[in-house]
Every structure is written in structure tokens, then in C-alpha cells.
Structure 1
Amino acid sequence: MRLAQLPQEFVGAQPILATLEAAGYEAYFVGGSVRDTILGKPIHDVDIATSAYPEEVKALFKRTVDTGIEHGTVMILDHGNGYETTTFRTESGYQDYRRPDKVTFVRHLEDDLKRRDFTINALALRQDGEVIDLFDGLSDLKAGVIRAVGDPEARFGEDALRMMRAVRFASQLNFNIEAKTLAAIHTHAHLLSQIAVERIHDEFVRMMLGTAAYRGLTVMIQTTLADYCPGLVGHTIDLSTIATVPELAPKNEVEVWAMVAFHLGLSYPDTVEFLQAWKTANHIIKSANQALHLAYAQQYHGVTKQLLFAMTPDTIAAGTNVARMSGYGPDDPNEWLTLYNALPIQDPHDLAVSGADLIKKMGLTPGPAVGETLQKVQNAVIDGKVNNDVDALLKYVQEKILTTDDASTKK
């Protein structure tokens, strides 16, 4: 197979391959960028594989960076772009089920490609557009199949994270996982416990953001991979419910975790603990909990102006999508955001009076009572009971709050 037209990302890197080939070495584009080009998808990183050893690569180019030279990777800097160029290699001795104990540089492309995870990722591309397919990856791309290169038992025994990559690709590409590969995932699922949570976290989120997340979740349940993820053991039914959501389409990581927490029925404190176990960033945890709060409110007692005031447009959008995916959202997807935008104030600092005003003009004694009064004033403004105007607010305090509060709040 020969591609008639290469993406501009490859065209810009062609001089790198040309330089390597002119020196007598082989050089190819490899990895996901080749796969995505064939599928007509946008590409991101351009990776190059070559028969030249790292020192030979460095001798050919003026500007290089040793980004992973122990594994044969050199970054070639060219016209403001960086191209990771890796020597053909074999790997052996995966004692931690993730990284090879030994890397050996080789001169033959086949030796390099046969160590890769899946046939659709074991394609190489010449600078003239010719695709090198040694493991029938093109057929698997056409059939929509994820198949391990060679023996799947060996591939997952080498690197257990490949199992999560398989379910992620199933989701992102809407592909099926080939039977032997699927069986090997089931056999080796327990090895996922050897992998750093941060790595599993990244693959899980990317899987949930795929176009067919239900595929990945279904495989995780069928193969028991889910049992080796933080906080998911014993939640097969809950995960199955997520997998059957008709329009499962979270838009970002916040929605991913709010959706999972919602269907697991987690409380807010439990959600924090759950997401911390997943090594989730603190700002994501905070936003996911707010989105969860909104989804729960819609499910049980309805969304109020006070609840929306405590949120941001982003968390409102996330909570709306989670609620709608789960069958509880408003008919109008913009309803809650419209209500939020119509609030008289959207931040406590927008309130026209301050604690100092209450002390100076209303005679309140400094202390907790000031904060309590400000909270009542803020709630009244949000609910539309009084305008956010200094005179109107001071009058409200005098007539609606101080007259009913304990006289001890005054001097």
C-alpha cells in the first residue's frame, strides 16, 4: 500500500528520513501517527525509527537532545520542530511487567516491529508513502480489529499496561478486540496491579473519552480488569450500567469522574477518597464533586439558584452533561447555565455590602454574627428578594434580619 498524499506533519519531517537514508541507514515513520493517517484521523506526534544507532544519529544532525538515549531515542531539532528518532531495538526481561530490563539495538526493521503491542501499531511508513506491514495490521485496520503482535500472552506479560491500551483503543477507534487477545487480557488481568496507578488513570480517562467508551468498559468488566483498578472491585453492576448508557459521551476528565462517582453512588467525601486513590489532580477532584452535586440535586430534589451560585460555568456544564447522560438532566441542556447567568451576583465579592459596612453602618459587633448576616443577605440577593444595592441591602438587614435576630448581635 502506498499513500498518495502525506500529512504536512510527515512532509515536514521528510528531510530527517532523507538524511538518514543518504547516510546508508533505514528510516521510517512508525507508531500511532501511521495508523491514524491511514484511518484519516489527525495526527499528533511524529515518531521515527531507524537502523542508525544513537551516536550515528547524533553525528548526522547538528542539534539533538538525548531524551531517552538508554532506550535508543534521540530528539532531532529541525526548523523549530523536534522529532523523536529511535534506533531499531529488541527488549527482554520485563521484571516489573512494564519496562524492559535489557534493550538491544538492532539493524532490522522486523525485529523492532515485532516487539510492539498491536498489529495496527506495528506499521511503518517510508518517506515516499509506502506502508510496510509485516503483521497484517492493514487487514486489522480494515476489519476494525485490535490484535496483539505475535503471542498475546507474551505481549501482556512483558507490559501489563498494554491491556489498558487495548481497551482504550477499542473505545477510541470503535474496534473489537480479537478473541485470543481478549482471552489473554482475562488471563493476565491480575498483572494490572503491578502498574503505577498514574498510568492506569491516564488510559482509563482516555478510554472514557473515546467515541465508544462502552466497548472499553464492557471489556474491563468481562476480563476483570476493573477489579484491579482503585475502588472498582465489587462494582460490576454499576459499571455495567454506565456501559449501557445510550449516549455515553463525557467531554472531559471532570465529566468522566463525576459520571463514575454518580453511578457508583458515592457520597462527596467518598468521591474525594476514590479520586485520590486514582491519583487525580486536586482541581479535577473539586470540579468533579461539584458536577456530582448538581447531578444528585437534579435526581433527588431539584437544582436551586443557591446551588448554581456555588459553581462555575464549567462545572455547571459538566454536571448538566452527567445528569443528562444518566437520564435526569433538563430537557434544555442550557437551562442551568442560563439560570446561572441570570443570577444577580455570581461571586460573594459581588455583594454590594461588606462585613465592614454592617459593623460601621448597622452597629453589628465583630464576630460570627457578621458572617451569618452577610450569608443571609447574599441568599436574599440570589433568590431575588432584594436588589444588590447598598441602601436596599442595609434596609433589608434592618427590617428583615435584625428585627428577628437576637438583640445581642447589636452593640
Structure 2
Amino acid sequence: MNEQFRQALSVIETLKRHGHEAYFVGGAVRDYLLKRPIGDIDIATSAHPQEVMAIFPKTVPVGIAHGTVMVIESGVSYEVTTFRKEGRYEDYRRPKNVTFVRSLYEDLQRRDFTMNAIAMNEHGEMIDPFGGIEALKQRIIETVGNAAERFNEDALRMMRALRFVSQLGFSLSTGTKQAIVQYGHLLQHIAVERIAVEFEKLLLGPFMSKAIELLIETNLFAYLPELATKKEQLAQLGAYALVPVHRIEAWARLAYVVQLDYQELKKWKLPNHLIRDVTICLQALKHIHSIDDWTIDALYEYGRYIPYIEHIRAALHGDEPHVQQLLKRWETLPIRDRKELAINGHDLLALFERKAGPWLAEMIQKIERAVLHREVENEKEKLKEWAVCNQRRENNC
């Protein structure tokens, strides 16, 4: 058992001292068995939420209706969830109700995939009633029980399956894959925002190409926003070797290869700031095809997006990314943002004793370019002098 689990043992031991069962469950156990970095540690218990809150001094009822209480121990938060079984699902996403139970088996039985239905006790012993450990050994993603039932309960599980393919490089079991083909249309009932979360993780996974291939094979892509007619472009996206390292890069590469415009990106219900950043990257990729296209003006215009643009450019053209070299060049520019200019609009209005108008924006742009190309130093008095000379069209100032 590693240090993260050892730190969380006090929660398990406290629950057991009060007569309750308690186990580590979920992704942390899975990743521990895979020797991958472990994220948040979740605990399942026979104790009901009110009992959990009565036992621990620091708790937050984050999802008490579904049995989840956040327990804070030594400054670390752990989600402690009561064993439960779920009622009939509504809208192919959520159970109408949950029933708290005292059985670990019933709790594990409701989970999506066998690899996520493994529990670990305080001694590091595994409880694995559905063959999750063997699935990990075989590198297979399979549902707990009947795949058709699991996907009819929660259609988002189909996207989660492909997301795990991208993250782990596993294959789908035959039954799981067939059920996705048969029930992929149920994805239409899922909120776009939820689909986008899973799809983004898929785009960022080290085995993204394998997941994209399955997305096409199962026809699940046909139920994703604006991708139904993009089969060939998606196949091309999956062919690129370099894996994106940031969400901006991931969405920009998708949009560039699959040819999604601003309005089509909006259909994914992405945050406005992300769409703006992606749009800027797309604009840059129209002009930057090689390292030589990174002119002074391009560096200035797209400086903070260099890592994303350069990774995409390199992937598209089978080149090596030159991120560090370009960042060093960007850092040596006289200015990297208009806000760094030593002169502003108020200074120019006072200097020329004129009212604001289009001339002001044009003048600031001229000054900006002059400083960028080292025609004048970024010092207020020198900029004033340059502005006056430029206005008079004098060449010998």
C-alpha cells in the first residue's frame, strides 16, 4: 500500500472502530494496481451519511442525497460514500433514486466497468467480485454485468469507455463494443457539457489514436456535436503521432483537422475563453506552416500560444516542435503586449490636443510596430517625439 492510501487509513480505521465496514474503491484502486499516479482517494462504507458526519469532526455534505460526505482529515479531503444501489434510471443518465445498503457487493455491482468495481481493505487485500483484476491483466474494458443494461442506465458510460481506451491503451471487450454499436444513439439524450468533458479527456490521452479509431468503428462519432459528417477528417486526426498536452491544443487540433468553425465549436458548449483561445490558434495555423513562418510579428501576435500552435504545426507537418527556441525569441522582443508600451491613448490625446477617433488607434498601432521592430526605444519621451515626427511625415527627425 502506498503513502497516499496509508494517509487515508485513519478514515477507514475510524469507521471500523464505530462498527462500520469501509473500503477504498474506484479509480484510485484501479490506478494503484496499474502502478499509475493516483488521484483522489474515495472510500465506500456501510455507514449512512448522518452516521459519517456524527463520527468525524470535519465534514462537508457534498452529495448527501446520494450518500456522499466529504471527510477532512489532516487537511486532506476524502469523499466517503455509503454503499448504495440505484433505482430506475431516467433520461439515460441518472437514477431516479438511490437506496442505501449495508452490502459492499451491491455497491460494486452498480458500477460501470469491472476495473472500477474493485475494493481494497485496510490491509491492502483486494475484493474483486466481478473480475476487475483479470480485466486489468488482460487490458480489457468491460462492463459490470450486461453491457446493454449499463449503457441504457447511463449512456455517458459509452464515452467513458472510449476515454479509458485513450488513457490506458486498453481494448473493449466484445460485448462492450457491440453494445456501444447498438446503443450509441442513446448518447443523444446526454447533455453536451457532459459529453465534452469525456471527449476532452479522450483527446488528451496518450492512446488517443486508438480511441478515435474506436469512435469511428462503433459509429459513436455520429452522435457528437458537428462530427456526424466528419468521419474522414476524424480518421486523419487519429493518424497524428504527437499527443496534445493541453486542452487548448487538443481542441484547436480537432477544430483545425476536422474543420470546425467558431459557431460549430459553440455547439460543444465550451467555455467562451477556451473557444477564444482555440480561435486564435486556428488563425495562426493558417499562416504558420514551418519554423520560418514565426516572424517577429507572428511571435508578438501569438506569443503566449506558442506551445499549442507549435505542437499542432509539428504534428501536422511531421516536424519537431521548436517551443523553447521560439519562447526564447519571444521573450527577447522589446514588448510582448500592447500594455507594455510606455505611452498610452491619454498621452497621445494630450500631445496632439485632439479628440479621440480612429486616428488614435492607428497611431497606437504604428507606435506598437515601431517599438516591436526596434525603430524607437520604448521610452515615453522618445515615443512622443517619434509620434510627432510620424504625424508630420518627416524623415529626418
TM-score (norm 2): 0.91
Whole-angstrom distance in 2 between the partners of 1:333 and 1:60: 52
State the partner residue of 2:248. 254
State the partner residue of 1:45. 40
Whole-angstrom distance in 2 between the partners of 1:245 and 1:256: 12
Change (3 A) 1:328 1:304: farther
State the partner residue of 1:377. 367
Give SS of 2:311's match: helix
1:319-398, aligned counterparts within 5 Å? 319-327=309-317, 332-361=322-351, 366-390=356-380, 393-394=383-384, 396-397=386-387
1:27-176, aligned counterparts within 5 Å? 27-176=22-171
2:297 is matched with which residue: 278, 285, 306? 306
RMSD over aligned Cα, in angstroms?
Answer: 2.5
Change (3 A) 1:19 1:370: closer
Whole-angstrom distance in 1 between the partners of 2:386 and 2:216: 58
Give the partner amino acid of 1:308: L
Cα offset, 1:53, TM superposition: 2.8
Whole-angstrom distance in 1 between the partners of 2:40 and 2:126: 18
Whole-angstrom distance in 2 between the partners of 1:55 and 1:199: 30
Q: Is the contact made by 2:306 and 2:323 (CA closer than 8 Å) also made in structure 1? A: no
Cα offset, 1:359, TM superposition: 4.8
Give the partner amino acid of 2:322: D
Cα offset, 1:352, TM superposition: 3.9
Whole-angstrom distance in 1 between the partners of 2:181 and 2:368: 56
Gaps (5+ residues) in structure 1? 1-5, 405-411
Cα offset, 1:114, TM superposition: 1.3
Residues 1:233 and 2:228 aligned together: yes
Cα offset, 1:96, TM superposition: 1.0
1:148-297, aligned counterparts within 5 Å? 148-247=143-242, 249-266=243-260, 270-271=261-262, 273-297=263-287
Q: Any idea what the Cα deviations from partners look like across 1:157-203, whole Å, max 9, x if unmatched?
A: 10111111111111111111111101111111111111111111111
Give SS of 2:52's match: helix
Cα offset, 1:227, TM superposition: 1.7
Cα offset, 1:221, TM superposition: 1.6
Gaps (5+ residues) in structure 2? none
Q: Is the contact made by 1:308 and 1:340 (CA closer than 8 Å) also made in structure 2? A: yes
Give SS of 2:86's match: strand
Give SS of 1:82's match: strand
State the partner residue of 1:407. none
Q: Is the contact made by 2:310 and 2:321 (CA closer than 8 Å) also made in structure 1? A: no
Cα offset, 1:107, TM superposition: 2.1
Identity over aligned residues, as a percent? Answer: 40
Q: Is the contact made by 1:17 and 1:28 (CA closer than 8 Å) also made in structure 2? A: yes
Give SS of 2:91's match: coil
Whole-angstrom distance in 2 between the partners of 1:229 and 1:144: 26
Whole-angstrom distance in 2 between the partners of 1:40 and 1:58: 33
Q: Is the contact made by 2:69 and 2:79 (CA closer than 8 Å) also made in structure 1? A: yes
Give the partner amino acid of 2:302: M
